[in-house]
Structure 1
Amino acid sequence: MNAYFESPGVLVLAFAAIPAAVYVIIRFRRVREQLFSAGQRGWQGSRVTEAISIRTVFFTLSWMLVCTAAAGPRWGTRLEPVREQGAAVVFVLDVSRSMTAEDLPGNRLEFAVQYASRLAGELSGIPCALVVFKGTAQLLIPLTTDRRSLQDGFRAASPGMISAPGSVPAGAISTAVKAFPPSLAVSRYIVLLSDGEQTQGSLVEAASGLHAGGITLLAAGVGTVSGAEINAYAGSGNVKIHQSRLDSVLLEDAVRAAGGESRYVLAANPGSAVEILERITSGMGGTKNTVYASRTVKRYPIFLAGAIMAFCAALVAGGVSWKRS
């Protein structure tokens, strides 16, 4: 649990009340001893001491609670709507074996890397991250404005960087969501570059929760409908020819499930990158977007309420003892 004080220095004042209270109680007892001689001591002196002690304890507690409230205690989180401008982007890059199909210049992966690299180059000043996936997903580059590290990540992308076989775009979406800090109060985008092949999980199901989390899915289909042949067991010495085709239907279904301003584009189409850029930068002008950010909850009202209760208890409990005396 993330717990902290906004102004922890104020707590010094709270603890200062403890020796002050002890001094008052001890000092009063000494005064009582001086006022009541041995022959005059009785229950009245004890009751007066009791009243002073009770009031001192409760007043001290009240003061400590007020100081704690002033220190600005925070713990726990909740989602709050925030009007902000700006953006953060997580690129999700498919590096599965099917991305080696050569139905695009070079192959699908090379095309996707160049496509993402150009997009990132146009998103100057916008924090970007990179998630790669195959049989598992991995956050390769956390959110950063350092374009050099991001471009290095793109260049390093290959099927060999992840040993697990298969393709799990659903897991990649979950990893991308976690790449956004909970307190990030800007528009959040996931740019998915994939041919749509999946062997595990449900991309549509993973995408269905994005809109509620304030995340927009921008999916770019990499490949062609006719597809190309690949060796599913490349590098293992075995041969299994597989006809790999772009699954636009799955990607479009995922975009519909994500809702909101999510979009699907065919990466090979001219102008598709511009469409993605315009969508990301549209909220960065004069208009502000409503996004949901996780905020630490201010807890000072609890301590103020406790301080008032302790103050009232000092008046009531101490007053009763005083009247008895």
Structure 2
Amino acid sequence: MVPEKTRASGGFMNFDIERPYAFYGIIVLIPAALYTILRYKKILRSFITNPEVFSASASVTRLRRCFFLRTFFRCMAWMMLVLAYAGISWGIKTVPVQKSGSTVSFVFDISYSMTAKDGPSGISRLEAECNYARGLLKHLEGTSVSVVLAKGSGVTAIPLTEDFNSIENMLSQLHPNLISSEGTDLGSGVRAAITSFPSQSAKAGCIWLFTDGEETQDSLLDALNESVRYGIPVAIVGFGSERESELLLADGKTRVKTALRSSAVEETVSKVKRIRAGGRTDSDLTPVIYVDASEYGSAGKLLKMLSPQDGSGSVSYEVHLISRKNIFINLAIIFFLFSIIAGEIDFRRAIKNFTRGTAAVLVFCTFTSCSKKFDEGRLLFEGKLEWNRKNYNQATACFLEVSEMALKNGDARASEYARFNLAVTYLMQDENESAASYFKQILDEATESTDLQVKFAALYNSGIISHRQGKFDEAAEFFKEALLVDSSSTDAKINLELSIQEKSLQVKPDEKEIVPVEKSGGDAALENAVYSIIRENEEKRWKNQQQKTKNSSLDY
């Protein structure tokens, strides 16, 4: 969830350069161009010194034209390769990411403007946001929460925890003096909240920013845009009154006017939505909302952000820039082909060369164009690579995208593979319920055309999940069905036997009662007599062994 590397970015123009240092490669063209020009002059000099050749002025003109065209196209091809390596991206796409569970980061604005006492019943904005946060904590049982303080900078005061007592203690201590930096930088608070979420987490993150909307750094728009890019929804909760009031700053002299800047915050939220929309519907975008704390049902809107549509988990959408590397690679190849054609230009053969070049370009475009099935296969392959690298979030994103594409294209086989890979990915993350639901979908929709290997694997892994959950009857049934698909599987046979044994070893309730054994006095006396006889016999045998050893010893 946290960005793993820094890139040069074009701000809000949805433009990105992954490796800016690659542009140094263009400098190579300078010595290459000088060498080419010197070589051309040397060749031209050899023509001039030979009167017979020089008399053919048409040949010299053709040589000059071919030489410069070929040099130009090869330089352009090299520049395209440099641009491709630089990793230029523009435009955006939304990538679905399956999440299970929620984590929340509370970002508290503790600037001096929050000490203005225009809250409910005359309390300060700071007290109002603390009371509001306490009310939310009562509904976040089982949810990990972090606390970030925002003033002139953002600081993670409490990392993700389920110990709400520590958060309660922090709320009682909130004051502008906790951070010495001046001003209000809400963007740094949001960025600190983003970094408080662990990378490669299976849980969905959410940021709740409590503020009056006043900031001195104008960094909120950048931070919200970054949060949406990583699929982290943000809710901004406004505190205070929109009617301005005077506030005495910490120096005891300066008086400033402060108020709830709801219109400015709403405008910022609208800008984020416009920038990231790109023609997509709101349902495909990570939500960024503004609510007034005094508004009825405002807390419900925040809690709704944590509630998935069903019990299997939620799908959040990360915004990714679209890489244009393939465009520059294709242009590099085209320019290189043109350089070859330019070197062979002859007006007498112009039509023939043009036909060859066009055919080459058409063949190239035919073989490099990506059909729908090719796109699905490529994404499955990318997902498998990420799975092998244990980047399960990236793998899940690839498989979800394949599943959506297959559903639109009506490709049942690709959909089947995508769901199976999703199930295996969740199984590796111990998300047994989500994995079992996908295996069940595969088995419920299985037909005669279903890949037998996929069907066997779905049955086998369903048996593994049931065995882990202690459902040995159900596990045995899954392994039996798996053997009906592939009777040669030794693992399935072993697991079937283990499930049957585990089932038989389960103790029945009526067998757990232990019946006490009572002994009578006569039985105890008889038992003591038997022990006495055994002891006497042991003593006699020991004495006999000692005498025998003594008599049989050799004197050296």
TM-score by length of 2: 0.37
Q: Could you say what secondary structure the match of 1:269 adopts? A: coil
Aligned residue in 1 for 2:260: 246
Distance in 1 between the 2:308 and 2:266 partners? 22
- The 1:99/1:254 distance shift into structure 2, 3 A limit, reads same
Any conservation in 1 of the 2:210–2:239 contact (CA below 8 Å)? yes
Instruction: Considering fraction of residues, name the structure with more strand.
Output: 1
Q: Could you say what secondary structure the match of 2:149 adopts? A: strand
Q: Could you say what secondary structure the match of 2:307 adopts? A: helix
Any conservation in 2 of the 1:84–1:291 contact (CA below 8 Å)? no
- The 1:131/1:108 distance shift into structure 2, 3 A limit, reads same
Larger RCO (alpha carbons 8 Å, 6+ apart): 1
Aligned residue in 1 for 2:236: 219
Distance in 2 between the 1:223 and 1:299 partners? 49
Any conservation in 2 of the 1:192–1:217 contact (CA below 8 Å)? yes
- The 1:203/1:290 distance shift into structure 2, 3 A limit, reads closer
Aligned residue in 2 for 1:14: none
Aligned residue in 1 for 2:211: 194
Correspondences of 1:61-80 after superposition (within 5 Å)? none
Any conservation in 2 of the 1:207–1:257 contact (CA below 8 Å)? no
After superposition, the C-alpha distances for 1:78-99 in whole angstroms (9 at most, x for unaligned) are xx95422211100100000000
Q: Could you say what secondary structure the match of 1:255 adopts? A: helix
Correspondences of 1:18-33 after superposition (within 5 Å)? none
- The 1:103/1:126 distance shift into structure 2, 3 A limit, reads same
Tell me whether 1:100 sits opposite 2:190 in the alignment: no
Any conservation in 2 of the 1:91–1:190 contact (CA below 8 Å)? yes
Any conservation in 2 of the 1:227–1:243 contact (CA below 8 Å)? yes
Instruction: Considering fraction of residues, name the structure with more helix.
Output: 2
Aligned residue in 2 for 1:208: 225
Distance in 1 between the 2:168 and 2:386 partners? 34
Any conservation in 2 of the 1:95–1:157 contact (CA below 8 Å)? yes
Aligned residue in 1 for 2:181: 164
Q: Could you say what secondary structure the match of 1:170 adopts? A: helix
- The 1:104/1:182 distance shift into structure 2, 3 A limit, reads same
Aligned residue in 2 for 1:118: 135
Distance in 2 between the 1:257 and 1:177 partners? 20
Any conservation in 1 of the 2:101–2:313 contact (CA below 8 Å)? no
Aligned residue in 2 for 1:88: 103
Distance in 2 between the 1:219 and 1:153 partners? 20
Q: Could you say what secondary structure the match of 2:208 adopts? A: strand
**Structure 1 segments of 4 or more deviating over 3 A?**
256-259, 282-287, 295-300
Q: Could you say what secondary structure the match of 1:281 adopts? A: coil
Q: Could you say what secondary structure the match of 2:242 adopts? A: coil
Distance in 2 between the 1:133 and 1:284 partners? 34
Q: Could you say what secondary structure the match of 1:122 adopts? A: coil
- The 1:296/1:254 distance shift into structure 2, 3 A limit, reads farther
Aligned residue in 2 for 1:274: 300
User: Which one of the candidate residues 179, 196, 199 is aligned to 1:179?
Assistant: 196
- The one-letter code of the counterpart of 1:99 is M
Q: Could you say what secondary structure the match of 1:224 adopts? A: coil
Aligned residue in 1 for 2:446: none
Tell me whether 1:144 sits opposite 2:158 in the alignment: no
Distance in 1 between the 2:130 and 2:305 partners? 20
CA displacement at 1:186 relative to structure 2: 1.9
Any conservation in 1 of the 2:96–2:315 contact (CA below 8 Å)? no
Distance in 2 between the 1:275 and 1:209 partners? 22
After superposition, the C-alpha distances for 1:293-314 in whole angstroms (9 at most, x for unaligned) are xx987359xxxxxxxxxxxxxx
Distance in 2 between the 1:107 and 1:298 partners? 53
CA displacement at 1:187 relative to structure 2: 1.8
Any conservation in 2 of the 1:92–1:190 contact (CA below 8 Å)? yes
Tell me whether 1:298 sits opposite 2:298 in the alignment: no
Unaligned runs of 5+ in 2: 5-94, 274-285, 319-384, 391-556
After superposition, the C-alpha distances for 1:267-300 in whole angstroms (9 at most, x for unaligned) are 11222112211222245734532466xx987359
Aligned residue in 2 for 1:255: 269
Aligned-residue sequence identity (percent) comes to 31
- The 1:203/1:299 distance shift into structure 2, 3 A limit, reads closer
- The 1:220/1:290 distance shift into structure 2, 3 A limit, reads closer
- The 1:299/1:241 distance shift into structure 2, 3 A limit, reads closer
TM-score by length of 1: 0.62
CA displacement at 1:150 relative to structure 2: 1.5
Distance in 2 between the 1:256 and 1:217 partners? 13
Tell me whether 1:285 sits opposite 2:303 in the alignment: no
Distance in 1 between the 2:310 and 2:229 partners? 21
CA displacement at 1:177 relative to structure 2: 0.6
Distance in 2 between the 1:182 and 1:191 partners? 19
CA displacement at 1:258 relative to structure 2: 4.6
Distance in 1 between the 2:161 and 2:309 partners? 19
